[in-house]
């Protein structure tokens, strides 16, 4: 029977991962972040097409969300197994080392900024060149769903997006933590799967996923402005994600398991 890593061992693994991330050059960090943004967009596209790919999806919201949630974890699985750089995962992974003063907050801010920008570039690249230009969502059913998702996300109150951002990255970073607790491929994939499925079904706000969903709707005709994209969703979702992953996972598990 495969042994799982203890919480203290997971904390040590997170510290080792953080050290590796901070040693990367800016160029390498941006490339790895670009890939992660594309991978999350792949999961988002898979989720949209599976969840809204049948008539009456809007009349069966529980089933629709279950289908969407069941396939979206592919994005994080690709990120983790390929070593890509995801902003929301780094919110937790880099926190313990900074709290333990093994490196400064400036390095954390630099990594988060580069990775956020790289994730956005990767998500936009996949959205435009791999979804919009090839007409992947040419069916009116999918196009309408994409536009409705974008409008709904920018129509939420700022505080609602922030709190949903906290919930999203609490679960995403728990998925990362569970993934590090396993020592084999099936165990790691299972650890990543359920928390991600959960946040999608609940309807929480993940800033990197929204870098795909909202621009996709905009490119397909949703009446959403760039100001609404950033001020109405990405800013509060990003801040909420930092709190959810950095405080409730990276921060608390460092506090509970530090030597």
Q: Rounded to whole angstroms, how far apart are CA atoms 132 and 76?
A: 22
Backbone region of residue 25 per phi and psi (left: phi > 0; alpha: psi in -120 to 50; beta: other values): beta
Q: Decide: pTM greater than 0.75.
A: yes
Report the candidate in 215, 145, 175, 218 with the shortest Cα–Cα distance to residue 76: 175
The predicted structure's pLDDT at residue 1: 63
The predicted structure's pLDDT at residue 2: 73
CA-to-CA separations, 93 to 86, 108, 111, 235, in angstroms, rounded: 10, 10, 11, 21
- In order, the DSSP letters of 114-149 are HHHHHHHHHHHHIIIIIIITTTTT-SHHHHHHHHHH
Spell out the per-residue pLDDT of the chain, length 259, in tens. Answer: 678 999 999 999 999 999 999 999 999 999 999 999 999 999 999 999 999 988 887 788 899 999 999 999 999 999 999 999 999 999 999 999 999 999 999 999 999 999 999 999 999 999 999 999 999 999 999 999 999 999 999 999 999 999 999 999 999 999 999 999 999 999 999 999 999 999 999 999 999 999 999 999 999 999 999 999 999 999 999 999 999 999 999 999 999 998 7
Q: Rounded to whole angstroms, how far apart are CA atoms 148 and 142?
A: 10
């Amino acid at each position: 029977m495969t042994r799982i890593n203890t919480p203290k061992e997971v904390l040590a693994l997170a510290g080792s991962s953080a050290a590796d991330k901070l040693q990367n050059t800016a160029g390498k960090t941006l490339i790895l972040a670009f890939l992660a943004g594309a991978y999350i967009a792949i999961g988002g596209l898979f989720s949209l097409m599976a969840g809204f790919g049948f008539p009456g999806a809007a009349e069966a919201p529980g089933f629709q969300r279950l289908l969407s949630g069941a396939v979206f974890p592919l994005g994080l699985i690709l990120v983790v197994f390929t070593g890509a750089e995801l902003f929301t995962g780094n919110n937790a992974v880099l926190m313990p080392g900074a709290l333990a003063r093994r490196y400064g907050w400036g390095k954390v801010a630099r990594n988060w900024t580069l990775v956020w920008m790289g994730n956005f570039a990767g998500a936009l690249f996949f959205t435009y060149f791999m979804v919009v230009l090839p007409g992947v969502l040419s069916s009116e059913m999918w196009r309408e769903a994409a536009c409705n998702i974008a409008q709904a996300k920018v129509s939420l109150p700022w505080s609602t997006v922030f709190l949903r951002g906290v919930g999203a990255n609490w679960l995403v970073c728990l998925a990362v933590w569970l993934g590090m607790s396993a020592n084999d491929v099936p165990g790691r994939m299972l650890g990543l799967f359920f928390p991600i499925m959960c946040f999608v079904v609940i309807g929480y706000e993940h800033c990197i996923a929204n870098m795909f969903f909202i621009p996709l709707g905009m490119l397909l005709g949703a009446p959403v402005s760039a100001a609404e994209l950033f001020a109405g969703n990405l800013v509060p979702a990003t801040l909420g994600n930092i709190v959810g992953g950095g405080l409730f996972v990276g921060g608390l598990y460092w506090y509970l398991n530090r030597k």
